[in-house]
A and B are shown apart, each in its own frame.
Chain A
Amino acid sequence: MTRRRGSRAPGEPRLVAYAYVAPALLVFGLFLLAPLAYAVQLSFFEWDGLGLGTWVGLDNYVAVLTDPELRAPFLHALVLVVFFSLVPVTLGLVLAALMTRSRVRGAGFFRTVIFLPQVVALTVVAVVWRQIYAPTGPLNDALRLVGLDGFARGWLGDADWVLVAIGLVGTWVGTGLCTVLFLAGLAKVGRELYEAARLDGAGFWTELRSISLPAVRGELAVALTLTMVAALRTFDLVYVMTAGGPGNASRVPSYEVYDRAIQEGDVGTGITVALVLTALILLATWLVNRIAGDGEPA
């Protein structure tokens, strides 16, 4: 049998592969790798975005680690991690366990509805929740209705509450994703395991701890990673809801990046914040998968 070039089965070494990969690599190289490399370069300069930059070595990195004003956004991001990640993961686990344990009529409906916030543009989410939090908005109306007038306030204008208020929006967005991830994980657990546990008299919490939780270790790692990265990267919500205010109370790293590099002409510092944020995200991802994902992921 004669073999012609180009009609060999996929799987054999061939140069033509480069032709298939080239367009993707070209776009990827020009619009992702090149900017990334440029970011690293810019982080060693003090530059106002217009004139010539000044080489400052590691000064920008030192500033990000030592300047309290630059550290604050990272601390704010940690608060958001609790609401964007830990709370939705917990809620998602309980919801998924409840939906798996009893036969729920309309499970598909609940799943669809709870996941819905995940698909709405965050700008829209921000606009809607701004109205909910407004001084005369529905949240304060509800508080006054039940006699908690003292609690009513302009939630986004209150430095003590603004991060919690933004965080709750993150809970609203993330819970559905976590629930759906855990439902997928729990669907693989054999029914018999639950039956056996039930015969042994296991209640909801015992079952959750000893069967469900170990069964979704892989999904747990995924849910924590996705939601933590989302928390650390929060931008749209802050930009639209508070623009970092009141004062600097809700400045988060990506807002700091945008504000410094584009608005204030402090490009070097802004980009360094972005690179430190990138390092933090990589570290968080690695840690979560190290701790939670020792078992084979799904």
Chain B
Amino acid sequence: MRTSSLERTTTYAVLVLAALFALYPIGLILVKAVQPDAIGADVGVDLGNFAEAWDEGQFGSYLRTSVIVTVCVVLGATLLSSLAGYAFGTMQFRGSSVLFYLLLLGLMVPSEAVVIPLYFQLRSVDLLDTYTALVLPQIAQSLAFGTFWMRAYFRSTSREVVEAARLDGAGHLRIFWSILLPMGRPAVTTMMVLFFMWTWNEFLLPLVVIPSGDLLTAPLGLALFQGQYTAGTSLLAAGAVMVAFPVVVFYLFAQRHFIRGMVDGATKG
């Protein structure tokens, strides 16, 4: 399609402005993170802030907690969503639609309405400040989307493949695990990418269920760090970079999965 050169110029100008608006804050924090705080010494690149934030700011420990929690939530939620999605997508059983809509409730209810009562329930069974408190509620929150997403995938799978496998003597578990799930790798990958981002970035749940501060995840650690060290913006910037880094790098590699997941997930919903 042809457009006038004036319009083309305007289009690029608008896009470049939008890109600069999106990139400026990210660039700013990157620059701050590699500059020493002392005035007059801001020449060159210094990676010392990262080492200092890692040790003194305890970001090493925050990141380790985040990695453990994220791995557990992503794997757990993926497994449970796939199992449930398989049943909802390929089998007929009494009460299936009621149970499915019950799960979908999880898409609508904001975590604010769940996290506060959860705090008191976990407190009464002595589970505050544990990995259990960080992992299981987040699996529960991911299940609504996951089951919905995997049901859509399993519904779209071909009956012939299943028939053929059945003739070869494969049971339902085998059909699920060795045939349909591997064939659904793109759908599963996209879902895992979203679970990863949501879990890594989660803030309210860890804030509430880790009152002692012993098992802080990276975003929480950053917030705490900001409250304590108001003077050293370079250390704070280095910490911020370390918290954002895994998801951003992952995004740049897997951006198709991120974007497709957001768009498909949203429009199917």
With A116-B22, A222-B266, A298-B267 in contact, is A239–B223 under 8 Å at CB?
A: yes
Instruction: Find out whether the CB atom of A204 lies under 8 angstroms from the CB atom of B99.
Output: no
Q: For the complex, what is the distance from the CA of A232 to the CA of B109, rounded to whole Å?
A: 12
Residues of chain B in range 47-93 having any CB-CB distance to chain A below 8 Å? 76, 80-81, 83-84, 86-88, 90-93
CB distance from B109 to the nearest CB of A (A): 6
Give a binary string over B113-157; 1 marks a CB under 8 Å from any A CB, 0 the rest.
Answer: 111111111000000000000001101110110010000000000
Instruction: Find out whether the CB atom of B116 lies under 8 angstroms from the CB atom of A127.
Output: no
Residues of chain A with a CB closer than 8 A to B175's CB: 10
With A18-B93, A99-B15, A175-B18 in contact, is A257–B121 under 8 Å at CB?
A: no
Instruction: Find out whether the CB atom of B139 lies under 8 angstroms from the CB atom of A27.
Output: yes
With A131-B32, A262-B208 in contact, is A123–B222 under 8 Å at CB?
A: yes
CB distance from B87 to the nearest CB of A (A): 4
Instruction: Find out whether the CB atom of B223 lies under 8 angstroms from the CB atom of A128.
Output: no
Instruction: Find out whether the CB atom of B222 lies under 8 angstroms from the CB atom of A127.
Output: yes
Q: Does A195 make an interface contact (CB < 8 A)? A: yes
Number of A-B residue pairs with CB-CB distance less than 8 Å in the complex they form = 310
Q: Does A115 make an interface contact (CB < 8 A)? A: yes
Residues of chain B with a CB closer than 8 A to A250's CB: none
Instruction: Find out whether the CB atom of B136 lies under 8 angstroms from the CB atom of A122.
Output: no
With A6-B171, A38-B117, A104-B12 in contact, is A20–B87 under 8 Å at CB?
A: yes
Give a binary string over B21-41; 1 marks a CB under 8 Å from any A CB, 0 the rest.
Answer: 111011011001000000000
Q: For the complex, what is the distance from the CA of A191 to the CA of B92, rounded to whole Å?
A: 42
Residues of chain B with a CB closer than 8 A to A110's CB: 15, 18-19
Instruction: Find out whether the CB atom of B3 lies under 8 angstroms from the CB atom of A11.
Output: no
Partner among A32, A109, A128 whose Cβ is within 8 Å of the Cβ of B137: A32
Q: For the complex, what is the distance from the CA of A194 to the CA of B14, rounded to whole Å?
A: 21
Main secondary structure of the interface of A (DSSP, over half): helix
Instruction: Find out whether the CB atom of B259 lies under 8 angstroms from the CB atom of A180.
Output: yes
Residues of chain A with a CB closer than 8 A to B204's CB: 235-236, 254, 258
With A127-B240, A204-B7 in contact, is A31–B118 under 8 Å at CB?
A: yes
Partner among B7, B15, B19, B25 whose Cβ is within 8 Å of the Cβ of A125: B25
Instruction: Find out whether the CB atom of A132 lies under 8 angstroms from the CB atom of B162.
Output: no
Instruction: Find out whether the CB atom of B93 lies under 8 angstroms from the CB atom of A42.
Output: no
Q: For the complex, what is the distance from the CA of A281 to the CA of B106, rounded to whole Å?
A: 13
Instruction: Find out whether the CB atom of A14 lies under 8 angstroms from the CB atom of B91.
Output: yes
With A7-B169, A25-B99, A104-B15 in contact, is A233–B83 under 8 Å at CB?
A: no
Residues of chain B in range 159-175 having any CB-CB distance to chain A below 8 Å? 159, 162-163, 166, 169-172, 175
Instruction: Find out whether the CB atom of A297 lies under 8 angstroms from the CB atom of B3.
Output: no
Instruction: Find out whether the CB atom of A239 lies under 8 angstroms from the CB atom of B15.
Output: no
Partner among A11, A20, A39, A121 whose Cβ is within 8 Å of the Cβ of B244: A121
Q: Does A177 make an interface contact (CB < 8 A)? A: yes
Q: Interface residues of A, CB < 8 Å — how many?
A: 106
Q: Does A62 make an interface contact (CB < 8 A)? A: no
Partner among B1, B32, B267 whose Cβ is within 8 Å of the Cβ of A195: B1
Residues of chain A with a CB closer than 8 A to B200's CB: 121
Q: For the complex, what is the distance from the CA of A49 to the CA of B248, rounded to whole Å?
A: 39
Q: Does A267 make an interface contact (CB < 8 A)? A: yes
Instruction: Find out whether the CB atom of A128 lies under 8 angstroms from the CB atom of B120.
Output: no
Q: Does A159 make an interface contact (CB < 8 A)? A: no
Instruction: Find out whether the CB atom of B140 lies under 8 angstroms from the CB atom of A31.
Output: yes
Give a binary string over B201-223; 1 marks a CB under 8 Å from any A CB, 0 the rest.
Answer: 10110011000000000111011
Instruction: Find out whether the CB atom of B106 lies under 8 angstroms from the CB atom of A35.
Output: no
Q: Does B189 make an interface contact (CB < 8 A)? A: no
Q: Does B247 make an interface contact (CB < 8 A)? A: yes
Partner among B84, B115, B223 whose Cβ is within 8 Å of the Cβ of A20: B84
Q: Does B181 make an interface contact (CB < 8 A)? A: no
Q: 16 extra interchain contacts, Cβ-Cβ under 8 A, other than A11-B92, A113-B19, A278-B108?
A: A10-B175, A31-B114, A35-B115, A111-B259, A116-B26, A120-B248, A122-B219, A128-B26, A180-B259, A180-B263, A235-B112, A236-B203, A236-B219, A258-B208, A277-B112, A281-B108
Listed A/B pairs (6) with beta-carbon separation below 8 Å: A20-B86, A25-B99, A30-B136, A114-B18, A114-B19, A115-B259
Instruction: Name A's B-contacting residues (CB within 8 A).
Output: 6-18, 20-21, 23-25, 27-28, 30-36, 38-39, 42, 49, 91, 94-95, 98-99, 101-104, 109-132, 138, 172, 175-177, 180-181, 184, 191, 194-195, 198, 204, 218-219, 222, 226, 229, 232-233, 235-236, 239-240, 253-254, 257-258, 261-262, 267, 270-271, 274-275, 277-278, 281-282, 285, 297-298
